[in-house]
């Protein structure tokens, strides 16, 4: 349904509703991101899945890989670590401190069991990358159909 505006143009209310929905989505997306940062969820993580595996990347800048511990049990991956900011020298004080320090733990349940003996972990430029292969019993099996 279209209406005429006072200037003679056409006005489509659904276009306005769509624009308003986009604005709300943009606003709440930004609030959600800011809340996640403020809640102290560290490290931020992305996880992708395929038929063969899950890929997890975590941002852990400034952390020595020796201070990271990754464990896998069934369908759960846990990342533990410690971020140390170091000691201030005598007479120094923080003007601003935004980077958190201390121990962190994050666990993630995947939609399948992981073949823990085949997990591969790498660390480069502050990004931890985990390749988490799907347990053989959980992989989709193609069933051949024979003609009768």
Quick one: residue 44, left, alpha or beta (phi over 0 = left, psi -120 to 50 = alpha)? beta
Higher-pLDDT residue of 17, 120: 120
Question: Phi and psi for 3 in degrees, rounded to 5?
Answer: -125, 155
Confidence of residue 119 (pLDDT cuts 50, 70, 90): very high
Contact 128, 68 (CB under 8 A): yes
pLDDT-above-90 percentage for the chain: 41
| pLDDT attached to residue 36 | 44
Confidence of residue 17 (pLDDT cuts 50, 70, 90): confident
**Sign of the dihedral defined by the CA atoms of residues 35, 40, 44, 50, in that order:** negative
Residue 29 has pLDDT above 70, yes or no: no
């Amino acid at each position: 349904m279209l209406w005429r505006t006072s200037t003679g143009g056409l006005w489509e209310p659904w276009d306005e509703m769509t624009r308003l929905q986009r604005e709300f989505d943009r606003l709440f997306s930004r609030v959600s991101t800011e809340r996640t940062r403020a809640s102290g969820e560290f490290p931020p993580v992305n996880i992708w899945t395929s038929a063969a595996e899950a890929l997890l990347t975590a941002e852990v800048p400034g952390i020595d890989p020796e201070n990271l511990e990754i464990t896998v049990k069934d369908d759960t991956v846990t990342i533990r670590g410690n971020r140390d900011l170091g000691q201030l020298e005598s007479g120094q004080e923080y003007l601003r401190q935004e980077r958190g320090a201390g121990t962190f733990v994050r666990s993630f349940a995947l939609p399948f069991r992981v073949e823990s003996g085949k997990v591969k972990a790498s660390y480069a430029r502050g990004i931890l990358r985990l390749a988490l292969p799907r347990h053989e019993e959980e992989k989709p099996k193609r069933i051949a159909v024979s003609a009768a």
